[in-house]
Amino acid sequence: MRRSKYRRASRSNNWFSGKRRIIAVAATLVAFGGIVTVTQVSNASTDRTQRKALAACDRVQAPNRTNLSTETRRGTYSTNGGKVTQHPDDGAGDTVSTQTLRTRCRNWVMNNVGNNGGNQTTPPTEAATQPAADPSAGGEQGGDQGAGNGDNGQGNGEEGAGNGDNGQGNGGDNGQGNGGDNGQGNGEEGNNGGEQGGDQGNGGEQGGDQGNGGDQGNGGDQGGDQGNGGETTPPPGAGLGVLTNSCDTSNLTPHNGFQEGSRCVSTEFGEVGEANANPSLLITNAPTRVAPNTPFTITVSTRNLIRDRFLAAGQGGYYVESSVLANGLVRGHFHTACRMLPNLNEAPAPDPVPAFFVATEDSRGGAQPDSVQIQVPGLPDAGTAQCASWAGDGSHRIPMMVRANQTPAFDVVKIQVGNRRGGGRN
């Protein structure tokens, strides 16, 4: 059957023609241009953040050498037939130059800031000088360290208050309120936001790079179930009048890994094992009396301590690593120090350097108790010496215990040097 030459043309065939085609092409170009613009803005922000972090590396300075114990052999050495490594003064004498510190810092930035790594923006050894920022600060005016404006943070971060990529309200990628990447509610699939709520939300790129509420701030990646303005789950110690639980409220300079005072340490405590796997330590043998300048031996037994982790204090490894467990046991080392007591009736001053101090690391130890012999080269002055041993994690802190009424991993003896009367342990 022959078709009529007057057959009406199909609308569907001409839908994408004429003006509609022009409009569609224009819309595609606009969308592509928007993507390019957002990408360029994002890259510019990344480059700017990386440049600032690298500039901070150029300001890093090596600290002054700290005072060392008076009688300890200098430089890392081994004992017990080469099986035991001893670090005098916790490695404080193993110093590092300013150039080495800056190189380490720049390498860290290139691997962790920008397109090559995570969202961290503070070099690990930068010595910041400004106090904690006001949590109410906002936008570009808050500076790169302004509270409230992080990349994914609370308030006005890159995906902060206003509208997320597709969300309504204050969502992050998947967050509700000021929540983080894993929050609930109005995230990428939120209501009423649409693409118009994306980069045009309150804050956008104007948010600071390191604000409280950034990747590590209130409502950042760890925002989780946080709602508008704070946590919905009470923090540990709620109701006890806790003064603070972070350095955000401190006006002290952030700690930089070296043995310097008037600093605030932000390193998290880390992992704590079960009560029956917490470290313990005992001095099992020590002389009660020694002659001046005469070598002697102290025997130390540890349990539940893997002695394979040590970060030299002189290299910036002091208080910078959280406690780490291996099969439920603390990884670290232990210390032994001897100091002369000027008075047996009152606590001694804490700042004078001891006569002897070593940190012992031998890649041994475990759940079963074992012993290490510590060789003391001698004590020069007559009087009473206090010799102590205590466990340390990778960053030299005494390991945590599960219960408050557990005894930490430490022990102490008193040794008489010369002719004065004194006590000790056999």
Q: What is the pLDDT of residues 34-67, one digit of tens each?
A: 555 555 555 556 688 888 888 888 887 777 777 8
Q: What is the pLDDT of residue 325?
A: 97
Q: What is the pLDDT of residues 322-340, one digit of tens each?
A: 999 999 999 999 999 999 9
Q: What is the pLDDT of residue 23?
A: 64
Check whether 78 has a pLDDT greater than 60: yes
Confidence of residue 300 (pLDDT cuts 50, 70, 90): very high
More confident residue, 256 or 7: 256
Check whether 12 has a pLDDT greater than 90: no
Prediction pTM value: 0.56
Task: Render 199-230 in DSSP notation, one character per residue.
Answer: TTSSSGGGS-SS-TTSTTSTTSTT-TT-BTTB
Q: What is the pLDDT of residue 93?
A: 73
Q: What is the pLDDT of residue 267?
A: 95
Task: Render 124-173 in DSSP notation, one character per residue.
Answer: TT----SPPPPTT--SGGG-TT-TT--SS-TTTSTT-SS--SS--SS--S
Confidence of residue 13 (pLDDT cuts 50, 70, 90): low
C-beta separation of 334 from 305 below 8 A: yes
Q: What is the pLDDT of residues 387-412, one digit of tens each?
A: 999 999 998 999 999 999 999 999 99
From residue 28, alpha-carbon distances to 83, 137, 287, 340 in Å are 70, 39, 86, 80
From residue 249, alpha-carbon distances to 21, 147, 207 in Å are 59, 11, 20
Q: What is the pLDDT of residue 59?
A: 81
CA 187/CA 163 separation, integer angstroms: 9
The three-point CA angle 168-171-173 to 5° equals: 115
Mean pLDDT of the chain: 72
Q: What is the pLDDT of residue 14?
A: 54
CA 22/CA 37 separation, integer angstroms: 22
Check whether 96 has a pLDDT greater than 50: yes
Among 36-40, 130-134, 281-285, 419-423, the least confident range: 130-134
Amino acid letter, residue 7:
R
Q: What is the pLDDT of residues 167-200, one digit of tens each?
A: 344 433 443 444 334 434 343 333 333 333 333 3
Say how many Å lie between the first and final Cα of the chain, rounded: 118
CA 48/CA 205 separation, integer angstroms: 12
More confident residue, 411 or 101: 411
Among 76-80, 246-250, 348-352, the least confident range: 76-80
Of 414, 395, 407, which Cα lies nearest the Cα of 289?
Answer: 414
Q: What is the pLDDT of residue 132?
A: 34
